[in-house]
């Protein structure tokens, strides 16, 4: 009875109070017998009590409001939790669910209560739930498992269920509380990881056997070619040998594809002539793709289109783009055009192409007259594993590999297509402008040199000797010293004699940094390059403050020394 009374039950409280007063008046006798003095005290007491009660009442109201707020907060957290909460009876009927649970199943919360939970489980996974539920109720130990749930509209998704058993009071039936989360994304990632691991395993395997396999194939191709030379053209034998040759070349292409994929080593950069590589690839492709596909090479660039790149990777880019084009035209035939151009991107144009820095680029494009790419797919073609081809025709890795290679070469790729009007893939790669050729025609990067006078300081005589030789070969005049104090005196005596100073950092008596400060005091603006074995940005910032133009990290490579020296000297000239 007491339990039922709430503060808002005004009438009831009054009734109870009057009944209690009656009883207590019986106990305390007749009020008329109380003296006026006692009566006054009694009234005083009653008033104080009344005030106390009012205060208590206010306090109770405040606590009640706080409780209501806390309950609202709790309901909010419960309803909008990132996971679905279900309470299910022993018989599997949903008795309570939060809003997220209803959303997960695409249901109204009101129609969820009273439904059988198993109604939302995919038929094939019903057993999982049945067994887990049985175990849960028997052992009362928390259970966690995965199964597929079905939304109201029929869509399936993978869910993770964490279940516990609760008994809210003696004799109350057991209930199951479940936390349900949608793990479709996690499942997808797991699948992707498994796929990647599989590919990695294939890569390792392929890497191991590819070398031997390549040799075997070379023998097959070479001997088939020899044999073809010896037989009369147009005979059955010649045709059959031709088929052997085509098969061998196809197999070689395949091995190459696997090899690039399995390579973990960083790219080996060397100057490459894109036109030569394109011609080689086209020749290779010609013998492996149907004859109803025409291949046209369109070289617009007047200069040799050279880039700094990893040969097998750039080869992979050309091959993948051409293979895709050939696949697209397989059914109907058509024309594949491989275009090469040398272009200059100025600020505005470069920005349009994914913020490439302005400069000269080799533009390589592969276009076809196939059916093109559907607008809903074009956004996705560079995603790994995205393929519209049958599983035995494509893994969907081709363009993902191409995109990765182009990015590591500081370039950019653009795909454009219109349904039924073919597709065009354009690759921009930074152009290598200064190239010279070895006697057998292999391009080499030309290192920039000059005629300026350089003061070179390093306490290690071997380093000084080597760098002096490199700089002199590039045409510079070099004065070298292994003692920083000597170098300082020399500079003081002829400050206008030198155009630039290259100094080591760690040296006895006078460090490179202090030497630089002194030199700049003598001749403000003299370009100084410091070579150091350690440090990073922090050091560079510090050096920049005292006027040191550039920091080179040891061991300094020849090309780097050449490029940096020229850059710093040219920058100094522009300022002067
Ligand atoms: N020239 C093209 N014409 C039409 N569709 C293309 C063309 N190039 C690429 N695509 C589309 O892009 C998808 C992804 O290409 P990608 O090269 O990454 O994979 P794939 O060719 O399907 O398989 P893989 O290259 O791994 O053998 C292709 O499945 C195809 O739908
Ligand atoms: Mg492909």
Contact between 453 and 565 under an 8 Å Cβ cutoff? The reply is: no
DSSP string for residues in 429-447: EEB---EEE-TTS-EEEPP
pLDDT in tens, 51-107: 999 999 999 999 999 999 999 999 999 988 999 999 999 999 999 999 999 999 999
* Ligand nearest to C-alpha 381: 1
CA of 256 to the centre of ligand 2 (A): 14
Non-local CB neighbours of 237 within 8 Å, separated by 6+ positions = 231
Q: What does the DSSP assignment read for 229-245?
A: HHSPTTSHHHHHHHHHH
- Looking at residue 387, its pLDDT comes to 92
In a domain, 256, yes or no: no
Q: Is 535 in the pocket of ligand 1 (CB under 6 A)?
A: no
Residues 50 and 123 in one domain: no
Q: Where among 78, 107, 130 does a domain terminate?
A: 78
Band (263; pLDDT cuts 50, 70, 90):
low
Which domain does 394 fall in, by range? Answer: 265-437
Whether cis (ω within 30° of 0) applies to the bond prior to 555 is yes
* 4 has a pLDDT exceeding 50: no
- Check if the beta carbon of residue 197 is closer than 8 Å to that of residue 110: no
State in Å: Cα 391 to ligand 1 middle. Answer: 12
Q: How far apart are CA 552 and CA 68, in angstroms?
A: 68
Co-location of 455 and 523 in the same domain? yes
Q: Is 359 left (phi over 0), alpha (psi -120 to 50) or beta?
A: left
pLDDT, residue 38, reads: 85
Q: CB-based contacts of 392: which residues, under 8 Å, 6+ apart?
A: none
Q: Tell whether 118 is covered by a domain.
A: yes
Ligand 1 center to 385 CA (angstroms): 10
Range with the largest mean pLDDT of 190-204, 209-223, 368-382, 561-575: 368-382
In this structure, of 3-17, 80-94, 349-363, the range with the lowest mean pLDDT score is: 3-17
Q: Which atom number of ligand 1 is nearest to the Cα of residue 384?
A: 18
458 and 503 Cβ atoms separated by less than 8 Å: yes
| Residue 293: burial class (beta carbons within 10 Å; 0-12, 13-18, 19+) | buried
Q: What is the pLDDT of residue 253?
A: 72
What does the angle CA 81 – CA 83 – CA 85 come to, to the nearest 5 degrees? 90
Q: What is the DSSP string of 311-380?
A: HHHHHHHHHHHHHHHHHHHTTT-EEEEEEEEEEEE-HHHHHHTTTPPSEEEEEEEEE--S----HHHHTT
398 C-beta closer than 6 A to ligand 1: yes
User: What pLDDT shows up at residue 259?
Assistant: 64
Together in a domain, 481 and 500: yes
SS3 assignment, position 452: coil
Rounded Cα distance between 147 and 178, Å, is: 13
Judge whether residue 5 has pLDDT over 50. no
Q: How confident is the model at residue 433 (pLDDT cuts 50, 70, 90)?
A: confident
Same domain, 143 and 165: yes
Closest Cα to atom 17 of ligand 1: 398
Show which of 437, 472, 491 is a domain's final residue.
Answer: 437
For residues 283 and 65, the model is more confident at: 65
Ligand 2 centre distance from Cα of residue 508 (Å): 60
Q: How far is 272 from 432, CA to CA, in rounded Å?
A: 9
Please write the tens of the pLDDT for every residue from 405-416. Answer: 898 898 999 999
Q: What are phi and psi of 138, to 5 degrees?
A: -75, -45
Q: Does some domain include residue 69? A: yes
Asked if 100 and 83 touch (Cβ cutoff 8 Å), the reply is yes
- Is the pLDDT score of 475 beyond 80? yes
User: Within a domain: residue 259?
Assistant: no
Residues 490 and 344 occupy one common structural domain: no
**Angle at 306 (CA atoms; ends 302, 309), nearest 5 degrees:** 160
Shortest-distance atom of ligand 1 to CA 325: 1
297-333 pLDDT, tens digit per residue, is 999 977 789 998 888 889 889 999 999 999 999 999 9
Residues 469 and 526 in one domain: yes
**Which of 269 and 124 is assigned the larger pLDDT?**
124
367 DSSP β-pair partners: 337, 424
**Spatial distance between the Cα atoms of 567 and 565, rounded to a whole number of angstroms:** 6
Q: Which residues contact 400 (CB under 8 A, 6 or more apart)?
A: 382, 383, 384, 385, 386
Residue at which a domain ends, from 414, 437, 460? 437
Please work out whether the CB of residue 381 comes within 6 Å of at least one atom of ligand 1. yes
Answer yes or no: is the C-beta of 186 below 6 A from any ligand 1 atom. Answer: no
CATH number for the domain spanning 119: value is 3.30.450.20
Tell me the angle at which helices 398-408 and 311-329 cross, rounded to the nearest 10 degrees: 150
Task: Check if 396 has its Cβ closer than 6 Å to any atom of ligand 1.
Answer: yes
CA distance 327 to 464: 58
Is residue 454 within 8 Å of 499, Cβ to Cβ?
A: yes
Confidence of residue 125 (pLDDT cuts 50, 70, 90): very high
Same-domain check for residues 358 and 410: yes
Same-domain check for residues 355 and 409: yes
Residue 547's Cβ-count burial label (10 Å; 0-12, 13-18, 19+) is middle
Q: What's the mean pLDDT in 541-545?
A: 77
Q: Cα–Cα distance between 434 and 134 in angstroms, integer?
A: 76
Residue 253 lies in a domain: no
To test the pocket of ligand 1, the residue of 195, 285, 324 to mutate (highest count of ligand atoms within 8 Å of its CB) is 324
Whether residue 558 sits in one domain with residue 517: yes
Same domain, yes or no, for 459 and 564? yes
Which CATH number covers residue 460? 3.40.50.2300
Is the CB of 394 inside a 6 Å radius of any atom of ligand 1?
yes
Answer for the pair 412, 406: CB distance below 8 angstroms, yes or no.
Answer: yes
Contacts of 321 (CB under 8 A, 6+ apart): 366, 402, 425, 427
Given its phi and psi angles, is residue 286 left (phi above 0), alpha (psi -120 to 50 degrees) or beta?
Answer: alpha
CA-proximal residue: ligand 1, atom 9 (nearest): 324
Whether residue 423 has its Cβ less than 6 Å from ligand 1: yes
Rounded-to-integer distance, Cα 53 and Cα 57, Å: 6
Does residue 442 form part of some domain? no
Residue 258 lies in a domain: no
Tell me if 484 is assigned to some domain: yes
CATH for 332: 3.30.565.10
Interatomic CA distance for residues 138 and 463, integer angstroms = 79
pLDDT at 3: 44
Confidence grade of residue 33 (pLDDT, cut at 50, 70, 90): confident
Average pLDDT on 282-306 reads 88
Cβ neighbors of 576 (< 8 A, separation 6 or more) are: 525
In eight-state DSSP terms, residue 105 is: T
pLDDT of residue 322: 95
Same domain membership, residue 397 and residue 295: yes
**In the predicted model, is pLDDT for residue 2 greater than 50?**
no
Smallest Cα–Cα separation from 424: which of 327, 299, 339, 349?
339
For 481-540, give the DSSP string.
ES-HHHHHHHHHH-GGG-SEEEEES--SSS-HHHHHHHHHHHSTT--EEEEESS--HHHH
Based on the domain organization, do 311 and 358 belong to the same domain? Answer: yes
Ligand 1 pocket, 402 CB below 6 A? no
- pLDDT over 60 at 572, yes or no: yes
368 in ligand 1 pocket by Cβ < 6 Å? yes
Query: Cα(first)–Cα(last) distance of the chain, in Å?
Result: 99
Distances (CA, A) of 183 to 149, 349, 474: 11, 44, 62
Q: How many domains does the chain have?
A: 5
- CA dist 434 and 304 (Å) reads 10
d(CA 323, CA 393): 11
287 — pLDDT class (breaks 50, 70, 90): confident
Q: Is the CB of 399 under 6 A from ligand 1?
A: yes
pLDDT over 80 at 402, yes or no: yes
Calculate mean pLDDT across residues 23-51: 80
pTM: 0.49
Contact 471, 454 (CB under 8 A): yes
Which residue lies with its CA nearest to atom 8 of ligand 1? 324
Average pLDDT over the chain reads: 86
pLDDT more than 90, % of the chain: 48
Q: Which atom of ligand 1 is found nearest the CA of 366?
A: 1
């Amino acid at each position: 009875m007491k339990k039922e009374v709430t503060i808002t039950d005004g009438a009831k409280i009054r009734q109870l109070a009057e009944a209690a007063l009656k009883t207590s008046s019986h106990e305390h006798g007749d009020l008329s017998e109380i003296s006026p003095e006692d009566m006054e005290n009694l009234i005083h007491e009653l008033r104080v009590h009344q005030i106390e009660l009012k205060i208590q009442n206010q306090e109770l109201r405040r606590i009640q409001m706080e409780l209501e707020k806390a309950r609202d907060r709790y309901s909010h957290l419960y309803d909008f939790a990132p996971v679905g909460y279900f309470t299910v009876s022993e018989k599997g009927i949903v008795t309570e669910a939060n809003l997220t649970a209803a959303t997960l199943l695409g249901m109204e919360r009101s129609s969820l209560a009273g439904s059988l939970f198993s109604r939302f489980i995919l038929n094939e996974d019903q057993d999982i739930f049945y067994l887990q539920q049985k175990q849960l109720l028997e052992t009362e130990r928390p259970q966690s498992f995965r199964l597929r749930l079905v939304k109201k509209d029929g869509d399936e998704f993978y869910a993770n269920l964490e279940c516990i058993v609760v008994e809210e009071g003696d004799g109350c039936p057991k209930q199951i509380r479940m936390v349900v989360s949608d793990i479709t994304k996690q499942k997808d990632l797991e699948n992707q990881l498994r796929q990647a691991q599989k590919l990695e395993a294939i890569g390792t395997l392929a890497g191991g056997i590819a070398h031997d396999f390549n040799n075997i194939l070379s023998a097959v191709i070479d001997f088939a070619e020899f044999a073809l030379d010896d037989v009369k053209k147009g005979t059955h034998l010649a045709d059959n040998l031709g088929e052997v040759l085509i098969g061998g070349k196809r197999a070689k292409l395949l091995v190459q594809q696997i090899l690039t994929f399995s390579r973990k080593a960083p790219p080996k950069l060397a100057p490459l002539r894109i036109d030569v590589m394109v011609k080689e690839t086209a020749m290779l492709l010609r013998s492996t793709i149907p004859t109803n596909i025409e291949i046209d090479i369109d070289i617009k660039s007047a200069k040799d289109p050279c880039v700094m790149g990893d040969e097998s990777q750039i080869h992979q880019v050309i091959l993948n783009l051409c293979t895709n084009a050939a696949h697209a035209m397989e059914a109907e035939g058509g024309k594949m055009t491989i275009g090469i151009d040398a272009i200059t991107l100025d600020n505005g144009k470069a920005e349009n192409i994914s913020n490439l820095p302005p400069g000269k680029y080799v533009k390589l494009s592969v276009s076809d007259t196939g059916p093109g790419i559907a607008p809903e797919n074009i956004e996705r073609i560079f995603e790994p594993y995205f393929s519209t081809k049958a599983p035995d025709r494509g893994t969907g890795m081709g363009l993902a590999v191409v995109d990765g290679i182009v990015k590591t070469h500081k370039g950019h790729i653009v795909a454009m297509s219109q349904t039924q009007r073919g597709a065009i893939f354009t690759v921009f790669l930074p152009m290598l402008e200064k190239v010279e050729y070895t006697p057998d025609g292999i391009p080499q990067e030309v290192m920039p040199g000059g005629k300026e006078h350089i003061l070179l300081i390093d306490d290690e005589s071997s380093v000084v000797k080597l760098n002096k030789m490199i700089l002199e070969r590039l045409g510079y005049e070099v004065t070298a010293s292994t003692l920083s104090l000597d170098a300082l005196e020399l500079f003081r005596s002829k400050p206008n004699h030198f155009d630039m100073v290259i100094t080591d950092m760690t040296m006895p008596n006078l460090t490179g940094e202090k030497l630089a400060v002194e030199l700049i005091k003598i001749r403000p603006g003299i370009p100084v390059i410091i070579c150091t074995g350690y440090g990073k940005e922090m050091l560079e910032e510090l050096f920049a403050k005292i006027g040191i133009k550039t920091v080179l990290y040891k061991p300094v490579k020849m090309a780097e020394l050449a490029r940096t020296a020229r850059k710093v000297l040219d920058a100094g000239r522009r300022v002067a």
